[in-house]
């Protein structure tokens, strides 16, 4: 195969991938979130942050139907001990859950330049987790840990490897502006929820249902 033929092949593949990405984004922006599962429950990933993020998300988990959203896999940063304790306390009466730890993409006060390598490291750990678990839905609410997780899920969906929907709930402490995580995930999350009415003007796709946490 000549170099010209290889370049044509590569260009064709890239164009097909781009069309697939645009199709998925169009579907996200123009249709209701559809959740279809080939099994009894919805395989669910919940991404815990630290401190307030974990508390808020676990409050949301309490309102979920555990029979519908199971099995549940919690994603926790590898240096986040408090979230692990809170998770076990919240799930004390349940058995259909598990958890795994991943590296933080960026630690507090870490420089943005050095966070590039740590983010890439996080991606390499997340890809086999997401592909192996094959979630139907991901719930997250703002910690930086969820960005590489959701990006991987979106890419694998575009590549027909999983069929996952992303639900992002902006933290209640974000009253007037979106978090950095929110600004990123508003571009491709299937459902984007804010908890203050004024934030609907800061996100072109935000849904507002009042205070959730």
Same-domain check for residues 140 and 201: yes
Does residue 110 surpass a pLDDT of 80?
Answer: no
Q: Do 107 and 19 belong together in one domain?
A: no
- Residue 70 sits in the same domain as residue 91: yes
**Shared domain check, 99 and 63:** yes
Check whether residue 21 and residue 50 sit in a common domain.
Answer: no
Pair (40, 110) in one structural domain: yes
pLDDT tens digits, 176-213: 899 989 999 999 999 999 999 989 888 888 999 887 76
Domain assignment present for 24 = yes
> Which whole-number Å values give the CA distances from 119 to 53, 116, 131, in the listed order?
20, 5, 18
50: Cβ–Cβ under 8 A, 6 or more apart, which residues? Answer: 77, 80, 82, 83, 143
Query: Does any domain span residue 16?
Result: yes
Instruction: Decide if pLDDT at 99 tops 90.
Output: yes
The residues near 183 (Cβ < 8 Å, ≥ 6 apart) are none
Average pLDDT over residues 82-111: 81
What pLDDT score was predicted for residue 81? 85
Domain span including residue 101:
36-208
Q: Do 45 and 109 fall into the same domain?
A: yes
| pLDDT more than 90, % of the chain | 52
Q: What are phi and psi of 35, to 5 degrees?
A: -115, 110
Q: Are 71 and 16 contained in the same domain?
A: no
Find the CATH number of the domain harbouring 71.
3.40.50.2000
Same domain, 58 and 89: yes
Residue 137, classified by CB atoms within 10 Å of its CB into exposed (0-12), middle (13-18) or buried (19+), is buried
pLDDT in tens, 49-78: 877 889 999 998 888 888 899 999 999 988
**In the chain, how many domains are there?**
2
Query: How does pLDDT run across 148-163, given as a tens digit for each residue?
Result: 999 999 999 999 999 9
Instruction: Tell me, yes or no, whether 42 lies in a domain.
Output: yes
106 vs 11: which has the higher pLDDT: 11
pLDDT above 60 (res 38):
no
Residues 85 and 149 in one domain: yes
Model pLDDT, residue 106: 63
Q: Does residue 213 fall inside a structural domain?
A: no
Same domain, 7 and 50: no
Classify residue 116: in a domain, yes or no: yes
Residue 45: burial class (beta carbons within 10 Å; 0-12, 13-18, 19+): buried
Is 149 a domain residue?
yes
Is residue 11 domain-shared with residue 115, that is, in the same domain?
A: no
Nearest to 161 by CA among 9, 17, 15, 6: 17
């Amino acid at each position: 195969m000549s170099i010209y033929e290889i370049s044509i092949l590569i260009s064709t593949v890239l164009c097909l991938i781009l069309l697939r990405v645009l199709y998925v984004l169009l579907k996200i922006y123009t249709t209701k979130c559809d959740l279809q599962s080939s099994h009894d429950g919805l395989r669910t990933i919940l991404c815990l942050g630290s401190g307030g993020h974990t508390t808020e998300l676990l409050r949301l988990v309490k309102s979920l139907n555990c029979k519908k959203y199971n099995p549940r896999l919690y994603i926790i940063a590898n240096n986040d001990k408090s979230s692990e304790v809170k998770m076990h306390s919240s799930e004390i009466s349940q058995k259909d859950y598990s958890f795994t730890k991943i590296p933080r993409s960026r630690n507090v006060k870490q420089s943005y330049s050095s966070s590039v390598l740590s983010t890439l490291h996080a991606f390499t750990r997340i890809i086999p987790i997401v592909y192996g678990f094959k979630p139907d839905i991901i719930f997250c609410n703002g910690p930086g840990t969820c960005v590489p997780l959701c990006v991987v899920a979106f890419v694998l969906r575009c590549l027909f490897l999983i069929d996952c929907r992303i639900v992002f709930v902006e933290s209640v402490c974000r009253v007037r502006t979106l978090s950095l995580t929110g600004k990123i995930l508003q571009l491709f999350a299937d459902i984007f929820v804010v908890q203050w009415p004024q934030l609907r003007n800061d996100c072109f796709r935000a849904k507002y249902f009042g205070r959730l946490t």
